[in-house]
Amino acid sequence: MKLDTFVCRILILAYTKEGRLEEASKVKMKDILCYNPIIRGPCKARRVVEAKKYLALVTRRRSGKVGKSGKDQRLLETELSEALKLLNEVGECGLGLSTNTCSSVASHFNIAGDMNKARQALEHMVELLAGVEDLYGGIIIDLEKTMDSEAFVPLLRASLSQWKQRGKRAVWIKLPIELANLVEPAVKEGFKYHHAEPDYVMLVNWISKSTNSLPKNASHRVGISAFVMNDKREVLVVQEKSGKFKGTGVWKFPTGVVDEGEDISMAAIREVKEETGIDTEFVEILAFRQSHKSFFTKSDLLFVCMLRPRSFDIQKQDTEIEAAQWMPVEEYAEQAFMKRHDSFSSVAKVCLTKSEKEYAGFSPIPRTTASGKTTYLYFNTKDLTQV
């Protein structure tokens, strides 16, 4: 884009912003700028025609006559996107322009003042992607409406340009599965995958010049192992139909994965009920184990939870559980498999110790966070009178 076209557009945008369409329509390259020898050469009729077309589009847009998916809409968005990029590059008549050029242009045209007006005009007139600011200087875009890539890309470019000028650090785009067609265009504009769920993919673009400090995707999966013992010193155990224990004959505690937004205590109660039909009351966390690369590349946190049974009639889950029973705790601990694997034998020892001696685990105590949410703090309450 030549300097003459840039200045012409600045004037048109400034006048149009203030509703002075008659004055905007009189802006031509010869009116002011062609008196300046530095930019006299590019002042051709073709440039004037371009300016008039641009003004026509702007005027039609203000009157609501430009369709949101029409050719004129895309042309206008592309033009404004280019103007935004140039504004960003030129800055306050400094970047990319020599001192002589700035001085000569400034003698006929208050470029710094009108560039500020132009910025305001652009912010008012350019349609940007709807987004909300996060707490860390970023923008989150949650797209819901159907959109083709031809309409999406100009909007995205214009939005990125403005957000860069505003000093935003990162832009997140949440694309529902219905808008999977926009993944490739977004990637071509610098976005990368961050995480995905069954119904959407989250992309992110670090647009700041500072060091990228984006958080990685979730590093751990959280699971529970449920130690449930009745008054007869029998523990609730199952044999699984699938997974690494399928067909091994190993009796193990009910286990499962904590759902998104679910408390550990509630997950333990739910998993026991689903697999065995037994109602329970959560008591405490006895131990936890961390292992790496357990689920694809993710690490695993397994919490060994003690629960008190409230019912005793087993109704096993047919889809996942081969068998379920109440087994004497000593018999459970004496399984050959337990003796061969110290991680399992250690858990068995913890549970035996809890059943026979003074062993204090971590009980869930409700607390309120700084944001007002209710959460649970797990700690040993045995020797504490008040926390």
Q: Which residues are catalytic?
A: 274
The 8-class DSSP code of residue 251 comes to -
| SS3 (DSSP) at 77 | helix
| The token pair that represents 300 in the structure block | 């695993």
Q: For Cα atoms 256, 261, 262, give the angle at the middle one, nearest 5 degrees.
A: 45
Q: Are 106 and 183 in contact (CB under 8 A)?
A: no
**What are the Cα distances from residue 199, in Å, to 55, 144, 182, 222, 374?**
42, 12, 15, 21, 28
The 8-class DSSP code of residue 363 comes to E
How many other CB atoms sit within 10 Å of the CB of residue 303?
21
Angle between helix 45-62 and helix 3-17 axes, rounded to 10 deg: 30
- Helix orientation angle between 111-125 and 99-108, rounded to the nearest 10 degrees: 80
Cβ contacts of 338-346, under 8 Å, gap ≥ 24: 343/289, 344/252, 346/287
Question: Which residue do the tokens 């042309």 mark?
Answer: 75
Tokens of 286: 């006895």
C-alpha–C-alpha distance, residues 215 and 113, integer Å? 40
Q: At residue 206, what are phi and psi to the nearest 5 degrees? A: -85, 105
Strand order in the sheet with 131-133: 131-133, 138-142, 170-176, 200-206, 192-197
Rounded Cα–Cα distance for residues 38 and 180 (Å): 49
In the three-class reduction of DSSP (H, G, I as helix; E, B as strand; rest coil), residue 13 is classed as: helix
Residues 250, 239 contacting (CB under 8 angstroms):
yes
